[in-house]
Structure 1
Amino acid sequence: MLSWFAVCCSGLLHINAAYKGPRWQFYLFKPLTIAILIVIALMGGQESSYTYWIVAGLAFSLVGDVFLMLPKDRFIPGLLSFLVAHILYSVAFWQQFDGPMIWWLPSLIGAASVLIFLLLLPNLGQLLIPVGLYIAVIAQMAWGAGEFWMAEHSQMAAYAFGGALLFMLSDTVLAFDRFKGPFRTSVLLIMSTYFSAQGLITASVLFAH
């Protein structure tokens, strides 16, 4: 319980520093939040391939966080780091799926992803292909988590699916903030959904069987 309290405090300190400073607090607590989640997963999860895939995804997320926080723009390395993280999460989720495919789910997620891409399209410029690929990868990650939940309806699967959906929401707000223009509450929305997403995905490890 104390470890989850530490996650909440660290995440809130990062969000507060994004608006009010100091800068050292901003740079420290974002990667620290993910680092604590890695420790939670390693200490509380079973020794299984699912745990290792999720921990690897958290590790690449931490790297992506560092790239995106650097004063000089490192958007592409950050994007690639999170792309790898979503692929690792996808492997973890799809490995758990064993059942008939629910085809309306990818149709719904795919339609939402295409709509987001079309809204961003006029502002993407040379990043059209990287952003399009990223959207496709995170969409299939959410699809994998959704199929897992539809097949099993376990607490583990529910946490995984909830985390995947929140990750899509966080990245969508981030994309609109970057390509359409920032707005005051964007950091709060992006980071609260991001930390919640990573927290739920980490929690799924604790219920792995």
Structure 2
Amino acid sequence: MTKQTKILIASILFLIVSAIEVYAVAVNSQPLEMIFKPLLMTVLAVVYLFSVKKPSFWFLSALFFSFWGDVFLLFKDDFFVFGLASFLFAHILYIKITTNFLKKESFAKVAVASAPFVVYLLALLLLINDNLGDMLIPVTVYGITISSFGAVTLLNYISHKSTANLWLFLGAVIFITSDSLIAINRFYEPKEIYGVIIMVTYIAAQYLICKAMVAKSEKS
């Protein structure tokens, strides 16, 4: 079996798993979610491993923590903090990966890249602040981390406008969108439709980040 065939099969499998998981969320099928949500990052890791010659330990570690974040969040309130912590580590690893692509940048560029994410984070925290309670500090720390991920990917794209860097930036922005909807759904205005949107954006974000990592690997 050729490399391209393996990649194609793994990619189709990821699409199927993703579709079933979105369906499971839409119909609120806990048994289906228990099976297919943990498979998301597992199959995406296989797609990545088939696509590169020299896998990144840091990227695979980020997928590992994302996997555990998915598993913990299956149990809703019981393990929400553990899910938050798992994705926190995943985002820290994504920040590390992205900063490795950067050269020394001017303060002006850093400020321009950071500004929209600082404003967005402050607006989100103001929106949900009244309902955070004991979760204020964990959610704030998580928000700062995901905003930092967005900022470094934007800085990376501003510094070098390549397709791979665009995928990485879009992946970060969509990830922030997904996480923001989780916060809004949990701490401000719960709606059933948010569950589907959260899952679709999460899958799209992780896939785009994976595509960026594959493209970066091919270039190197």
Match of 1:169 in 2: 177
State which drifts further: 94-103 or 32-41: 94-103
| Matched ranges for 1:50-61 at <5 A | 51-61=56-66
C-alpha distance in 1, partners of 2:12/2:49? 17
2:211 alignment partner AA:
A
How far off its partner does 1:184 sit? 2.2
Instruction: Establish whether residue 62 from structure 1 lines up as the match of residue 70 from structure 2.
Output: no
C-alpha distance in 1, partners of 2:9/2:66? 23
Instruction: Establish whether residue 96 from structure 1 lines up as the match of residue 101 from structure 2.
Output: yes
2:91 alignment partner AA:
H
State which drifts further: 104-113 or 78-87: 104-113
Instruction: Establish whether residue 74 from structure 1 lines up as the match of residue 82 from structure 2.
Output: no
Mapped contact 1:170–1:190 kept (Cα < 8 A): yes
State which drifts further: 147-156 or 131-140: 147-156
How far off its partner does 1:23 sit? 2.7
CA RMSD for the aligned pairs? 1.5
Instruction: Establish whether residue 42 from structure 1 lines up as the match of residue 49 from structure 2.
Output: yes
2:27 alignment partner AA:
K
C-alpha distance in 2, partners of 1:136/1:46? 34
How far off its partner does 1:100 sit? 2.9
State which drifts further: 69-78 or 105-114: 69-78
2:116 alignment partner AA:
L
Instruction: Establish whether residue 152 from structure 1 lines up as the match of residue 167 from structure 2.
Output: no
Q: Percent identity?
A: 29
C-alpha distance in 2, partners of 1:157/1:99? 17
Higher Rg of the two aligned structures: 2
Mapped contact 1:67–1:78 kept (Cα < 8 A): yes
Instruction: Establish whether residue 10 from structure 1 lines up as the match of residue 7 from structure 2.
Output: no
1:16 alignment partner AA:
Y
C-alpha distance in 2, partners of 1:107/1:136? 12
State which drifts further: 24-33 or 88-97: 24-33
Instruction: Establish whether residue 122 from structure 1 lines up as the match of residue 133 from structure 2.
Output: no
C-alpha distance in 2, partners of 1:142/1:197? 12
Question: Residue 139 of structure 1 is aligned with which of 142, 147, 157?
Answer: 147
Mapped contact 2:41–2:67 kept (Cα < 8 A): yes
Mapped contact 1:46–1:206 kept (Cα < 8 A): no
Distance 1:107 1:76, change over 3 A: same
- Extract unaligned runs of 5+ from structure 2: 1-7
State which drifts further: 146-155 or 195-204: 146-155
C-alpha distance in 2, partners of 1:65/1:14? 11
C-alpha distance in 1, partners of 2:23/2:98? 33
- Extract unaligned runs of 5+ from structure 1: none
Mapped contact 2:175–2:202 kept (Cα < 8 A): yes
How far off its partner does 1:21 sit? 5.2
Mapped contact 1:83–1:137 kept (Cα < 8 A): yes
Mapped contact 1:54–1:201 kept (Cα < 8 A): no
Q: Which has the higher contact order (CA 8 A, sep 6+)?
A: 1
Mapped contact 2:113–2:152 kept (Cα < 8 A): no
Distance 1:76 1:22, change over 3 A: closer
